[in-house]
Amino acid sequence: MQTTQIENNDTQISQKIEGVVIGLLLSINNDGSPLVAFPRNPDEAAIPARSTVAMQSKDVGCEVALMFEGGDSRMPLIIGKIQQVVTEKNAQDESANAELDGESIVLSARQNITLKCGKASITLTKSGKVILRGAYVLSRSSGVNRIKGGSVQIN
């Protein structure tokens, strides 16, 4: 970025700014024009800007890419909003995941999944444990009902 002074009869009119400057969207006027601040702002206050992209009140506080009409620092032009980096993988890692296809439901989580209803619960843990709890547990089968394990304890 190159900055030069434009002078007229020994009086500074404005700074000439070439290239892209990162500024901040401070607010949006009642007439809908965005107000921006940026480094080396000659007025040291928010300046109304024109924009090539739609800016909404939810964008206030965001960084914006600015250029200047004719290089005039008093005529900022928003050419875009700086996007925050968020990947889908990061968003998925922060929460549990559920997949529904009409025939089955797959729930997945990093640590455990617990289904609760009244005094009953089923918990699946990351280490592979399945914990059934209830005031009354019934296991029925029209075929063979097997219990298999490294060891089986009853009572």
Residue 21 confidence (pLDDT): 92
pLDDT tens for residues 42-94?
777 889 999 999 998 889 989 999 999 999 989 999 999 998 876 665 555 55
Question: CB–CB of 32/46 below 8 Å?
Answer: no
What pLDDT, on the 0 to 100 scale, is given for residue 146? 84
- Looking at residue 87, what is its pLDDT? 62
Predicted model pTM: 0.49
Domains of the chain plus CATH, in order, are 2-81 (2.40.50.140), 88-133 (no CATH)
Q: How far apart are CA 6 and CA 120, in angstroms?
A: 78
Question: What is the predicted pLDDT for the residue at 118?
Answer: 87
What gap in Å lies between CA 75 and CA 82, rounded to an integer? Answer: 20
Average pLDDT over residues 2-21: 61
Per-residue pLDDT tens over the stretch 90-131: 555 556 677 776 677 778 888 888 888 888 889 898 888 888
